[in-house]
Each structure stands twice: as C-alpha cells, then as structure tokens.
Structure 1
Amino acid sequence: MADTPLGDKPRADFRRNPWTGLAVMMTVALPAGWLAACSTKEPPPPPAPMRPAAPAAAPRPAPSPNAARSWDEYRLRAAQKLVSANPAITYTGSVPEPLLAIPVLSVELNGDGSISKIEVMRYPSQAKDTTQIAIDAVRRAAPFGDVSRLPKPWKYVETFLFDESRKFKPVTLDR
C-alpha cells in the first residue's frame, strides 16, 4: 500500500473489503450496546399511599340567583306573580277613572315566602266584595319566594286598583 497523507500507516479501503467496516462497527458499536443493555435504571418510586378523602363539609345553600335584594324588588316580583297567577281577574293597562274599589292588604310571610297572615289595612267604601277577591288572589299566587335574607318583619303592603268589571291591578305595577 502506498504512503498516506496522515502518516505512514495505511488507510483501510472500505470499498474493496466490506468486512473491514463490519470489524470497526463490531469493535465500537457492539460494546456500547452491551453497556447500555447492562446498565440498570432506577425503578420508579412507589406510588404515594392513598389517604382517605376528608369528609366534605355539608353544602351551604346558596342564595337563589333570583332572590330579591330589597323589599322594593320583592314587592315588584310579588305583584308580577299576582298578575300571572290571576290572569282572568287582572288588567295591566292604564288605570281607569273612576276606580270601583281600592282595598289595601298587608301580607305577612314566612321565611320561605309562604303566607303567614293577611290583614286588611283598608276596606273600600263600596264593592266590599273586592276585598275578598284580593285576598283570594294573594293566596292563589303564593308562595312569593324566599324572604329569609331580607330584613324583618317579613311583611309587605299591596294596594289593589279595581275597575268596574272587578278586575284589579296591583298599584306596585302602576309606578
């Protein structure tokens, strides 16, 4: 073999002898593979011991998203419920002149919005039967919704504006 530019050692010609490349590979790659296969990896840590879950606290009832935040808001919702629960005996248009009767009721409530007591604050001088119509309408519309978060006393007053056909409109809806 002729002298090589790197020194006086002959250079292997892989094109002529394919076994030379195989020998180099066996000397370098095979021991590296054996070392990799023989190396031991640390086993993964054991899973953390399972702890019993802490007992969940009893859920506190959240206030209803529809809960009224003031007595004015509550009165408005109660008046709307009065009209929707009594469609045959209510009107929502303008208040006619003259009115037939104007009874006024005080409605005392339980914390859940059910009726505790109804008291007549004002009896009309004529068409006295409209007072009972108003009382019955309030009973049909109840319960009016939770009042437990509103200040006591849990009571509101509603005035009923009756027209000549004995249909009413809560004065709260006329404001």
Structure 2
Amino acid sequence: MGGAALLTLALVLGGCAQRAPSPTEPSPSAPVPATAGERAPATPGSRVVALPPPATPRNWETARLQAAQRLVAANPGLTYTGAAPDVLLAIPVLTIELHADGRIRHIEVMRYPGQARDTVELAKDAVRRAAPFGDVSKLPRPWKFNETFLFNGERKFKPMTLDRR
C-alpha cells in the first residue's frame, strides 16, 4: 500500500474508534450524581414531590426539625413515621453542610452501617430531594448538621430527629 492509502485507512479506522472518556468526565453508562443545587432523581418506590419553600429557621434545633420534616415530605414511599423497630436494618449517619441559602454544599458520611451499605446512597439521595433547607445565614457557623437515618427491614427510613420528639 502506498503512503496515501495508509493515511486514508488510518483516518477511516480512527473515525470508527470510540474515544475513551477522560478521567474528569463520566462514562456514558455511569449515573451522573446530583450536584449541590439539584434534586436527586426519584428511585423505585418514590415519586418527585414539589415542596413548599422552606421557612427561615431561628436556631439549629428548628433547622434540624424542619430538615427532618422535609426529608419525610420529599420522600413518600421511602419513609415510615411510626415507632422504629427494635432491630434496624441499617443506621447511616450523615453530616449535611449547607450554603447560606440552605442549598447543600457537601454531604459527608459519618457512620457507614455494617450491613446494607446501599442505605448510605439512599439517605444521600433523600437529602438531595429534600433540599433546600432554608436560609441559615443568620445561624452560627459552621452551617452543618447531622442526621441519623433509621432504616427498617423494608429499606424505608425515619430521620432520628423525628424519633426524639
């Protein structure tokens, strides 16, 4: 083959090759996580719920209570409100850091459960669906709070904040 023919063949074959994704872009089949300002997509057993705008909390106690109530309201079908069972499937604990306007800045896992580790992602997605959590700019910094998720055997959760009332 001549040089021109080899060049043409190389260009044709090069055009057919798939480009490998760069390390900073997600692969086409990988789920794209919700960013801090977006709502997480609905999961099986859930539906997207339009929540009213959150109130501006006066202190961190009311901020945590409002957040727990929004978690339940934003995740129907994924929560329970009765007494927590004696034996829980999993108990992940998250720290939710907020921007001044109540949008999520960062979610950190403080405690991974020993079993049913998928409940961590269920809890994170539930938090994203419940956001924003109200203007916290007048509250003391850091603008973060912890929530403990009490998962029953059906993989439904209850925020522990509501269990303490």
Q: Which category of TM-score, normalised to the shorter sequence, fits these structures?
A: 0.5 to 0.7
Could you give the per-residue CA deviations for residues 90-109 of structure 1, whole angstroms, max 9, x where no partner exists? 00000011000000000000
Query: Which residue of structure 1 lines up, in the alignment, with residue 88 of structure 2?
Result: 99
Identity of aligned residues (%): 66
Alignment counterpart, residue 122 of structure 1, candidates 106, 111, 114:
111
Alignment counterpart, residue 145 of structure 1, candidates 129, 134, 142:
134
Could you give the per-residue CA deviations for residues 17-47 of structure 1, whole angstroms, max 9, x where no partner exists? xxxxxxxxxxxxxxxxxxxxxxxxxxxxxxx
1:70 is aligned to 2:59: yes
CA distance in 1, matches of 2:57, 2:105: 19
CA distance in 1, matches of 2:124, 2:58: 26
Q: Secondary structure at the match of 2:119?
A: helix
Compute the displacement of 1:133 (Å).
Answer: 0.1
Compute the displacement of 1:69 (Å).
Answer: 1.1
Question: How many residues were matched structurally?
Answer: 112
CA distance in 2, matches of 1:67, 1:115: 15
Alignment counterpart, residue 89 of structure 1, candidates 74, 78, 92:
78
Amino acid in the other structure paired with 1:156: F
| Gaps in structure 1 of 5+ consecutive residues | 1-65
| TM-score using structure 1 length | 0.62
Could you give the per-residue CA deviations for residues 33-90 of structure 1, whole angstroms, max 9, x where no partner exists? xxxxxxxxxxxxxxxxxxxxxxxxxxxxxxxxx4211101100000000000001100
CA distance in 1, matches of 2:159, 2:60: 15
Query: Which residue of structure 2 lines up, in the alignment, with residue 113 of structure 1?
Result: 102
Query: Which residue of structure 1 lines up, in the alignment, with residue 147 of structure 2?
Result: 158
Superposition RMSD on alpha carbons, in Å?
1.5
Amino acid in the other structure paired with 1:157: N
Q: Secondary structure at the match of 2:67?
A: helix
Using CA pairs under 8 Å that are at least 6 residues apart, name the structure with larger relative contact order, 1 or 2. 2
| Gaps in structure 2 of 5+ consecutive residues | 1-54
Query: Which residue of structure 1 lines up, in the alignment, with residue 10 of structure 2?
Result: none
Q: Which of the pair has more CA radius of gyration? A: 1
Q: Secondary structure at the match of 1:89?
A: coil
Amino acid in the other structure paired with 1:114: R
Where is the helix percentage greater, Structure 1 or Structure 2? Answer: 1
| TM-score using structure 2 length | 0.66
